[in-house]
Amino acid sequence: MKKSLLVVLVICLMLVGCKKQENTDGSAKVSGQAVSLFQMPKLDEIPEPGNQNLLTGWANLSEKAIGKRPVAVMVNNVEDALPQYGISQADVIFELPVEGDLTRLMAMYADYTKVPDVCAIRSCRYYYPSIAKGFDAFYVHWGIDKTVESDVKSMYPDKYDGLTNDGGLFGRDSARRSAGYSLEHTGYFKGTKFATVVDGSGDRVNLKDAKKGTAFQFADYGALVTPTGGVCSTVSIRFGACNSKFTYNADTKTYYKSMNGHKHVDGKTGEQLSFTNVFILETSISVRDTVGHKKLNWQGSSSSKGYYISNGAVQRIRWSQNGENSYLKFYDESGNELEINRGKSYIAYTHSGRTTVE
């Protein structure tokens, strides 16, 4: 009798004492809840964690970063500047074309206290801060296209520019200089000092109320979305003078990035860039001046097309950003907001017809 009672008590403790744990990548897994013996919670009844990363959906924000603005950093992406560093820690990476059909990256970090040092920092083009402002992010760059400088300054009064408002946050990487990099490829952002500097700057650190939810519509914890358009093992984007390719790894359920035929790696961590979600947004892009600066439709519309690639599959989507103060939104072809997997995202803007999916 005592033995039977002991078994019952052990079972009760096992069922009631289960708790939420975290995966090594910061995403949550749920092994149980404090519930009755006969009712376990449904996935959509599990509350969002207080330290949820609003860019990835993972539960990995530091306590100090909860409710605080993310940080968007401009990164050089020409061959002579590779490898960059600090980019493997980014939660979202945007890639857009600039003059000469090269591309420039914007790396976005949800936790302003955990931004790494980032190199090589590059100058602003008007569509990058327009996208960043939709996430209520701090915007970091080194220099600016002079033809749009006044417009960007009025739109983004609290941005950080290595030329005019560095706050002690920018420098030259002497090791890269000694290794033969040209001066323009040695500028770096001292991201590890950013939280201390911005906390004492008087700039607004708290997110706007409208931005305190997740940036994207994530699937429930433990759920995995499979895009509806078929298998996708590789996807290639031809920007022009720069090409990006993503190859699916079924073990990690992520897409690994290559650039111009070589693995795209972080120079300090040695990690190849990889993403749970890959978005390719087709838009109108043209040359707007004799220098070759681009005119790019970063807002899209209800009819703008693109691709969502995740979990080894792909589907066609629609996308739009309703002005500088709005989040970038994704929709299926029926007009319903897209539900995506939790994890890091890569987002490219490119011409129609430049994407190959296999």
Q: Tell me, what's the pLDDT at 29?
A: 44
Q: What is the pTM of this model?
A: 0.88
The C-alpha atoms of residue 339 and residue 318 are separated, in whole angstroms, by 13
DSSP result, 74-103: EE--SGGGPSPBS-TT-SEEEEEE-GGG-E
Q: Does the fold of domain 234-357 match that of domain 63-211?
A: yes
265-310: pLDDT as tens digits: 999 999 999 999 999 999 999 999 999 999 999 999 999 999 999 9
- Domain segments of the chain: what residues? 63-211, 234-357
CATH 3.30.1370.10, applies to 234-357: no
DSSP result, 163-224: TT--TT-EEE-HHHHHTT--GGG-EEE-GGGHHHHHHTT----BPPGGGSS-SS-BPPTT--
**For 162, how many CA atoms within 13 A lie in the half-sphere containing its CB?**
26
Contact criterion met (CB below 8 Å) for 106 and 93: yes
Q: Tell me, what's the pLDDT at 295?
A: 97
Contact criterion met (CB below 8 Å) for 305 and 316: yes
CATH value of 63-211 in 3.50.90.10, 3.40.50.10190, 3.40.47.10, 3.40.630.10: 3.50.90.10
Q: Tell me, what's the pLDDT at 48?
A: 73
Q: Tell me, what's the pLDDT at 35?
A: 41
For residue 174, the tally of other CB atoms under 10 A from its CB is: 9
DSSP strand pairing (170-172 vs 187-189): antiparallel
DSSP strand pairing (92-97 vs 262-263): unpaired
Instruction: Give buried/exposed letters for 273-296 (b at 16+ CB in 10 A, else e).
Output: bbbbbbbbbbbebeeeeeeebbeb
Residues of the chain with pLDDT under 50: 1-22, 24, 26-41, 43
The C-alpha atoms of residue 43 and residue 164 are separated, in whole angstroms, by 49
Contact criterion met (CB below 8 Å) for 40 and 58: no
71-92: pLDDT as tens digits: 999 999 999 999 999 999 999 9
User: Which pair of structure tokens corresponds to residue 209?
Assistant: 């109320």
Q: Tell me, what's the pLDDT at 39?
A: 47
Residue count of the chain, please give it: 358
DSSP letter, residue 115: P
Instruction: Tell the burial category of 148 from Cβ atoms under 10 Å away from its Cβ (0-12, 13-18, 19+).
Output: middle
